[in-house]
Structures are given as C-alpha cells and as structure tokens.
Amino acid sequence: MDTRLLRTFVALARTGSFTSAATELHLAQSTVTVQIRSLERELGTRLFDRLPAGTTPTPSGRRLLEEAERVLDAEARLRAAAAAGNGEGADGAVEGQVALGAGESLCSSHLPRVIASLRRTHPGVDVHLHTADTATAMEGLRSGRLDLVLLLEPEIDAADLVTRPIAHEPLVYVAAPGHRLAGREAGWAELAGESFFVHEEGCSYSDRLARSLLALPGPPPRLTRFGSIEAARACVAAGLGLTLLPEATVERQLRDGLLARVDGPAVPPVPVQLTRHRRRWTSPAAQLVADELTRLLGDGDG
C-alpha cells in the first residue's frame, strides 16, 4: 500500500476539509480527492461522508485512523533507521524537522535561544515553532501536527500524553511606573478595584487570576482578555491597569523602567511541562530538541 494515501487520509480526517488537507500536504485539491478514492477502492469501504459543511470519517474511517497513524509512525522509524545506517548527514549528525508547539510567552522569551543553540550545534535539525494555547497544542500532538509541546500548566490530565516538568516560570504583577500600586504591597481588596489586562482564556495563570478576582465580594472586576501578551503589556504600560505575566516576558520593561512590580498576593510559579504523545515514536531529532529544552530551560540552568 502506498503510504502517501494513508498520509492524505490522516490529513483529511484531521482537518475535515479537502481544501485544508490539500494546503497542508502541498497538493492540488483534485489530487487529494483522487488519492482518497483510490484508498477507498483498495480497502473496499467508504472512509468519509461528504457533507455540505465538510467531511467526517465514517465508522470504518474512525476505526482505521489509529491503524493508519501506526503505519505512518512505523514508516518514520524505518526511514530514521535507514538514515542512521547509511550515515546520512555530516559525520552521521542527527537531521530532521521537529514541530514544536508552545504558548506565546515561552515562544517570545525562552525558545529563541534554544533554537539558536540548536542551529550552532546541530544545523541539520530544523525546528518549526508553532504558537498555540494548551487545547490547540494538545490537539496538535494527537493529530500528529506537532512532535513536542511545552505547556504552562500545573498538571496535565491526559492518558494519551506523556508530560514531564522541566522548569518553573515565576509570575509577577506589573503596572505602569506612575500607577498608585507601583512598587507597593497590594492585597486582594486593593486589586479588586483595578482594571486587569490578561491573556486569553485557556491560559492557566490568567484563568486562575480571573477566578480569584471574580470570587471577591462586591462589583465584578474589570477584566479585559487579549490573545497577545504584547497587547496586554502595552495597555498596562499606558497606565490603564495591571496584569499578571511570566517574569521573563517583562524583564526588559522592568529593567528599562517601562513597567513596575506590584507586590500582590502570592502566586506559585507555573510548571513548564514538556509533553509528547504516548503512542507516537520520538525521532532522534525530536529527542535532541527535548534534551536541549531540558538543558537550557531546566530549573537551575544558568
């Protein structure tokens, strides 16, 4: 069986759209249609229902999806073993592409130096960085679009994923330097009267802050959610309110006097969870990236 047909089948099952699958695979939409029909003829069963809103796997398609993913995983192992046996790459160096997912704060603060280090030491490893919230990152692992993800979550309750905390991100309340709480101690009662600009829903530390504020007596707090940390940071720097962010994302602004700390209620550091899919093979390139993430981001790293 041509594994290209299986790759197209998995992409269509994941995206639910012939157009999206064609874009992802860099194929013409007509080619995706032909390949799916060929696979259905070869297997003797209809794999998808074609609906006005898109495609959805039939019961047969759902049953075959996991097996197709296993075949593609085995193919990846075989290719990696052949490459190792043939000594591909300069001096047998590890090569390959790795899709890494992470939240915006990690992408902007820590991951550039990891990628820079890998380019110096392992130029054959190409890291594709994808900004994603927790739900999107987990779906990416399950669909095979991502090889590894970093999640800023206290814990991950998912039997099909393997997680390992490799670091902890300290959180800090910040305000504009001229704000009345800048450089001061502030309890929940004082924070309740402030406007907060926080990251979008699905961000663990922002959601926890919102729950704490909403549980306070009196009028509900003024909370504005942003999909961008930069937007929240800019509103706070303009004196419009406060925010709670990983310290690494505001280090430069604090150092340059654009933002000031607020000594607010204690918040525990957020674990950085290195996560992969339990059933999928970790390629040598992905393992090398995981090792470098652990080395450079790990607690106690200088």
At 244, the amino acid letter reads: L
Chosen domain end from 34, 60, 83:
83
Q: What are the tens digits of pLDDT across the range 2-18?
A: 888 998 998 898 888 99
Please give the helix or strand (H or E) that residue 140 lies within, else none. helix 134-143
Chosen domain end from 51, 83, 115:
83
CATH of the domain at 249: 3.40.190.10
* Same domain (yes/no): 158, 293: yes
* Structural domain contains residue 200: yes
- The pair phi, psi for residue 272, each rounded to 5°, is -100, 110
* Same domain (yes/no): 143, 259: no
* Same domain (yes/no): 281, 165: yes
* Same domain (yes/no): 212, 72: no
Question: Bridge partners of 175?
Answer: 260
Q: How large a percentage of the chain has pLDDT more than 70? A: 94
* Structural domain contains residue 88: no
Chosen domain end from 31, 57, 83:
83
* Structural domain contains residue 259: yes
* Same domain (yes/no): 176, 247: yes
Mean local confidence (pLDDT), 255-262: 96
Q: Which residue has the tokens 């001229």?
A: 178
Centroid of chain to Cα 38: 34
* Same domain (yes/no): 196, 136: no
* Same domain (yes/no): 118, 194: no
pLDDT at residue 148, as a whole number:
95
pLDDT at residue 82, as a whole number:
65
- The pair phi, psi for residue 206, each rounded to 5°, is -70, -40
Strands (E), 138-227: 148-152, 161-169, 171-175, 195-199, 222-226
pLDDT at residue 262, as a whole number:
97
User: pTM (2 decimals)?
Assistant: 0.72
Q: Which long-range contacts (CB under 8 A, 24 or more apart) does 120-123 make?
A: 122/93, 122/94, 122/288, 123/93
pLDDT averaged over every residue in the chain: 88
* Structural domain contains residue 89: no
Task: Name the domain count of the chain.
Answer: 3
pLDDT at 163 over 90: yes
Q: Which residue has the tokens 């739900």?
A: 135
* Structural domain contains residue 302: no
pLDDT at residue 109, as a whole number:
87
pLDDT at residue 228, as a whole number:
85
pLDDT at 92 over 70: no
* Same domain (yes/no): 111, 185: no
- Residue 94 — pLDDT band, cuts 50, 70, 90? confident
pLDDT at 301 over 60: no
* Same domain (yes/no): 11, 153: no
| Enclosing domain of residue 74 | 3-83
Average the pLDDT over each of 50-59, 70-79, 264-273 and give the range with the smallest value.
70-79
* Same domain (yes/no): 131, 177: no
Sign of CA dihedral 243, 294, 78, 162: negative
* Same domain (yes/no): 176, 229: yes
Please give the helix or strand (H or E) that residue 245 lies within, else none. strand 243-246
* Same domain (yes/no): 38, 104: no
